[in-house]
Chains A and B, each alone.
Chain A
Amino acid sequence: MEWLVAVPQFLAGGLAIGAVYGLIGAGFSLIYNTSRVINFAQGQFVVYGGLSAVSLVANGIHPLLALPIAVLACIVLGGALQAVLATARRGSDELTFILVTIGIAIAWQGLAHQIWGSGYHTFSLYPEGAAFVLGASVSYGTMVTLGVTLLVCLVLWLFLYRTLVGKAMRACANDPRVALTVGIRPRTMVLGAYLASASLGGLAGVLVTPSLMMSAEFGVLLGIKGFTAAVVGGLANPFGAIVGGILLGLFEGLCVGLISSDLQDAYAFIALLAVLLLRPQGLFARKLPAGVR
């Protein structure tokens, strides 16, 4: 029964990465809500965020300054992505957008490979040490990550529910045509969603790299796990995605601890298939997004 004592520790192991999945998932949700596109390149923002920070720090820039610069770089990438997608012909179907974002994801991953190689990189950010919480040792890095994620949730909530522009973005998700009639420009809202998603991804990258290292190879996998987080929480809701991500992280941590760490990436995949089979609308949505049978 001694494994039972270790459970809190297993769970704690998945907290930080779970928050990261959640931030990626929130990014998926924002883009999907405003433009009905699933951005397969979402995971790349995380990689570029983390590795840019590594390079900046390696070049002598203070980590706390490197963070916002790295996130800014991701925002630029996000804008570039949206600009490319905007060139798509009218009436392009879903398959087209999926393939374009996949192509861009692969190209960016290849580029990251060129720049940073395939190895693991990290930089120092968090103070050393851990605290003992509920039977588990939780590193300061994890606590900072969770704290920042919570802060992000708050900011996102304030934006979407307390500012007019945020409300306009939600309105656009409901009905872009009607949004035009009150003076909202859906194109601008979509761009905003891409910039926001990119910053969430970049932030996730800079938060997780100091704890768990980053490699150019991780992009696609992180994207899939972030998507799983969004599916668990319900695609329509960025906050649901963040909760979904943390749940996914906990689940992964538990499985890695109790079963094996060799199949680490398999657990998320199984979780995805299970959710799609049992409750495709996720935990927090009442029904599936429009267009599903």
Chain B
Amino acid sequence: MPPVITAEGLYKVFGRRPTRGVEALRTGRTRDELREDGLTAAVIDASFSVDPGEIFVVMGLSGSGKSTLIRMVNGLLPATSGTLRIGDEVLSEMSPAKIRDVRRRRISMVFQHFALLPHRTVGENAAYGLEVSGMNRADREKKATEALEMVGLKGWGGYRPDNLSGGMQQRVGLARALAAGTDVLLMDEAFSALDPLIRRDMQDQLVDLQQRLDKTVLFITHDLNEAMRIGDRIAMMRDGRIVQVGTSDEILNEPANDYVARFIQDVDRSRVLTASGIMEQPPQTLGSAQGPRTAHKLLRETQNPWLVVLGRDRKPVGVLWEDDVAAAVRAGGDDLPFSTRLEMPVVAHDTPLADLFALSAQHLTPLVVVDDDGRFQGVIPRVTLLTAAGTLGNGTGEIPAVAPPDGPEPDGPDPGAARTDDQIAEGPSDAATDTRQHGEETR
């Protein structure tokens, strides 16, 4: 699908004869040099695109030009140079009346200090966008009520905004934007004025609403943790320029320059990195239809003390431990000897790192990572988790990688294994198919 918002070489210069400033910037003069001429370059050569259904976060400190940038997207501030498209409509070429029309149909906005109308009730505030575009009272009240319900303010429509707490007022701001029924949502530091707990709630609610309603969100913030929490992609801004655009993982792992690198030092990575970010592929997995002898062979080949067993639907069934397998082979049974003592901890792929430690400490078995449908994605052995933890914070932590301290030690080759070699001819092929789907080398 084509992008919803496309910005190409956007400039915004404040002052007398601003186009002069754009030309000067293009020929390589700096922002500070321009300031001596009385021109303020707020946004310099900004290019980006926002895809449908994406939460795109623009992150920067105050004075970085992010507020100017978001106001150029809905034409509150006209660009000095460059083009801005909403879908295939070029905003920079439109008359004021046309721009108003685009705002009514396509873009709504949530403001840092809520910007509610104190003389109207919550319901009338939520209906404001619809009222402006001329919808009749009954229809707009119905839509406003729906929007208020969506943000969890059912029954508050008759109150005045100043009867509500800050968090609730911003929900009204959000409801006003949702009721307008536009596909693009601009959020200008929308949660910055709220206290941290409420801010977390609102972030979760935004992500939730975005998934349900499939809105395209352009979110401005100065809080990197917030950006990492909600953003599908993040644009880092500094002194009017966009210095890096990428996912939170990309920005954390490959900062484009020293500025970004310094910035992300303070990020609590254990909240940002997720299970799928640090998981690894096990050397082998076993189909649940296989017997203990196949398991034994694979364990010997991989020199691993454990083996994850997957069902036909690739959902994890359990984990086998080496000595249990050896015992089963000696006993000659056909059932896989799942341990009752060592349970298998399963985590969702988007679990933050911070939530993995407790689970990992309770279980000897590596954490098994599954996707949204519960299918196997990878494992996180304790060593991997500790290594990841070592790179958190300042990135120079030196936590030595240690073997699982009290896991079953790998025994020597079991004498029984040789006897069973010829009986497992058909076995590994199934397991190999499993792992091939992961693009893993089987041998």
A joins B in a complex: no
B residues with a Cβ closer than 8 A to A are none
